[in-house]
Amino acid sequence: MQVNKPIPKTDGIDHTLTLIKQGFHFLPQTRKKLSSDIFETRLMGKKAICMAGKEAAEMFYDNTIFKRKGAAPLPLKQTLLGQGGVHGLDGEQHKQRKRMHLSLITPERLEAMKNIALQELDAKAKTWENKKQVILFDELNEILTRAGLKWAGIPLEEKDVKERTEELTHMVDSFGGSVSRYRNGKRARDNHEKWLKDIIKKIRAGKYRPPAYTPAYIVSNHHEPNGKLLDLQTAAVELNNTYRPLLATTYWIIFGALALHQYPDTYVKMKKDENDYSHMFAQEVRRFYPFAPAMAAKVKKSFYWQDHHFKKDLLVVLDLYGTNMHEDDWESPNEFKPERFTNWKGSPFSFVPQGGGDHHIGHRCAGEWLTVMVMRSFFKYFVSNLSYDVPDQDLSFNLNRMPTLPNSHFIMKNVKRTKDSIEDLKLDIQTRPVI
Ligand code: HEM
């Protein structure tokens, strides 16, 4: 007979506002309070089971028992994710769409992104030499907007750079429950999708011909399992999905710059980059610093797990940040130690900064390799191609805000390029497995 073990519950009626107020703290602190890796609460008026840890992640990413349809809240789809995109698909439709995304991320295209992003960074860095100070967050958002659109094969006129950068920045900053950030994010997405739809129409009409290996070409010409082209709206969402998340990488590049500053030994080791140090450093930045707090799914068919009953259509939330910090899997999780990744045995369920499980059959982030490659090459650029001072500023970050970053947005002064060329960096960094 199957035992039905009760799951500890939070007090009160609904905890959506608590989640918005406490941000990254909500799930870990509630687990601590209830002394349990799994608890029941109510979010957006619905019963929800929240959980963390390797075993929980393994269960969450089993797509025979979980589905994404109806799991993500509407405001998230109106801003960060878009409606009708790969994130919310299940079954064959998901597999087919995911194959399209993964087909964009070949080793050659990863190298291309690295080179384009480094070129944009180096061009921008030339202008920093004449500035009193540089706010790195703003600069990186523009650099990665330029790089992402170029890589995706989407034409960007100089006069539009500011507008496109602001749109992508607002979309990425839109989650976390602030009404004003939601409004900015929604407006930004509406404008950006309108712009993309015009470009896709031109591609389909043969009026604009991007190279056949670019996202612009591949997404515009992608056919659904029913043999039809993606509808225009979905095509705009998916094309945006191929480069918008690069601006999420901005947050981790800022945190990496923070770590290089606050742990000076890492700066020295990054400069030498022995035993793949830059890779381990990027991995530890993704583990230690927050970006994606959690993911939601719904139960596809009822099942038992660890004697707990999961009923069909129940909402389940996996704490990604808390899983990366889980004491069962990470020694001294609250210490920043890139060396922990030396000979790391890599579990796709204990290390879930960009989702867990398998990239190909599950929902794990399609851009994980790309994220790590851009992070590594930028960290190496900072230590080997630049000199800069980090003046006094408020470098603290608030875990109640989602997403979060240092309050000052990382200010640099006296920036100088120490090399005239990025050729060493272009040759140096190769694609590497990330889990
Ligand atoms: C800081 C950088 C990034 C973070 C934190 C991040 C995080 C995530 C997370 C949490 C998911 C959802 C996993 C799930 O549904 O369980 C995801 C999915 C996805 N990401 Fe990323 N991502 C990043 C960068 C990128 C980049 C650069 C790209 C593309 C170039 C990308 C493309 C995608 C796609 C297409 C999916 C949908 C996968 C699916 O549903 O099967 N991401 N990402």
**Cα distance between residue 14 and residue 142, in whole Å:** 39
In the prediction, which pLDDT does 294 show?
Answer: 98
State which of 243, 354, 373 you would mutate to test the pocket of ligand 1, scoring each by most atoms of that ligand within 8 A of its C-beta: 354
Give nearest CA residue, ligand 1 atom 18: 365
How does pLDDT run across 20-77, given as a tens digit for each residue?
999 999 999 999 999 999 999 999 999 999 999 999 999 999 999 999 999 999 999 9
- Among 238, 365, 402, 405, name the best residue to mutate to test ligand 1's pocket (greatest count of ligand atoms within 8 A of Cβ): 365
Residue list, ligand 1 pocket, CB within 6 Å: 86-87, 98, 101, 241-242, 245-246, 248-249, 252, 291-292, 295, 353-355, 363-367, 370-371
292 burial level (CB within 10 Å; 0-12, 13-18, 19+):
middle
> 421: domain range?
16-428
**pTM beyond cutoff 0.80:** yes
The pLDDT value recorded for residue 1 is 64
Residue nearest to atom 7 of ligand 1 (CA): 354
**17: Cβ contacts below 8 Å, ≥ 6 apart:** none
Confidence label for 435 from pLDDT (cuts 50, 70 and 90): confident
pLDDT, residue 30, reads 97
- How many Å lie between the centroid of ligand 1 and the Cα of residue 367? 6
Q: How far is CA 163 from the centre of its chain?
A: 22
pLDDT confidence bin for 427, thresholds 50/70/90: confident
Atom of ligand 1 nearest to the CA of 68: 15
Query: From edge to edge, which strands make up the β-sheet containing 38-43?
Result: 38-43, 46-51, 315-319, 294-299, 66-67
Q: Does any domain span residue 9?
A: no
* CA 242 / ligand 1 centre spacing (Å): 9
What is the band of 429 on the pLDDT scale with cuts at 50, 70, 90? Answer: low
Q: For the segment 324-377, what is each residue's pLDDT rounded down to a tens digit?
A: 999 999 999 999 999 999 989 879 999 999 999 999 999 999 999 999 999 999
Measure the CA–CA gap between 374 and 377, rounded to whole angstroms. Answer: 5
The pLDDT confidence band at residue 432, using thresholds 50, 70 and 90, is confident
Mean pLDDT of the chain: 96
What ipTM describes this predicted complex? 0.98
Residue 2 falls inside a structural domain: no
**Close Cβ partners of 299 (under 8 Å, ≥ 6 residues apart):** 65, 66, 67, 310, 311, 312, 313, 314, 316
Mean pLDDT value of segment 99-124: 97
Tokens of 95: 């597999």
pLDDT in tens, 221-280: 999 988 999 999 999 999 999 999 999 999 999 999 999 999 999 999 999 999 999 999
CB crowding 340-353: b at 16 or more within 10 Å, else e: bbeeeeeebbbbbb
What is the whole-number distance in angstroms between the Cα of residue 1 and the centre of ligand 1?
A: 40
Chain centre distance of CA 221: 26
Determine what percent of the chain is predicted with pLDDT higher than 70: 99
Q: What are phi and psi of 22, to 5 degrees?
A: -90, -15
Give me the pLDDT at residue 396, please: 98
Q: Quick check: is 61 in a domain?
A: yes
Which protein residue's CA is at the shortest distance from atom 25 of ligand 1? Answer: 367
In a domain, 205, yes or no: yes
Let me know if residue 8 belongs to a domain: no
Residue nearest to atom 10 of ligand 1 (CA): 354
User: Could you say which DSSP state residue 274 is in?
Assistant: G
CB 406 within 8 A of CB 26: no
Which ligand 1 atom is nearest residue 86's CA? Answer: 40
Instruction: Kindly state the average pLDDT of the residues 143-154.
Output: 98
Residues 6+ apart with CB under 8 A from 59: 65, 305
Ligand 1 center to 128 CA (angstroms): 31
Q: Element (H or E) spanning 414, and its range?
A: strand 411-417
Rounded Cα distance between 39 and 12, Å, is 13
Which CATH number goes with the domain that contains 399? 1.10.630.10
Residue 6 lies in a domain: no
C-alpha to C-alpha distance for 7 and 3, rounded to whole angstroms: 12
CA neighbor of 200 nearest in space, from 187, 182, 218, 213: 218
* Structural domains of the chain, count: 1
Q: Which pair of structure tokens corresponds to residue 32?
A: 């601590």
Q: Which residues contact 173 (CB under 8 A, 6 or more apart)?
A: 181, 184, 185, 403
Assess if residue 239 is contained within a domain: yes
305 token code pair: 């797990």
167 and 188 in contact (C-beta within 8 Å)? yes
How many Å lie between the centroid of ligand 1 and the Cα of residue 110?
Answer: 15
- Who contacts 157 (Cβ-Cβ below 8 Å, separation ≥6)? none
Strand intervals (E) in 108-180: 133-135
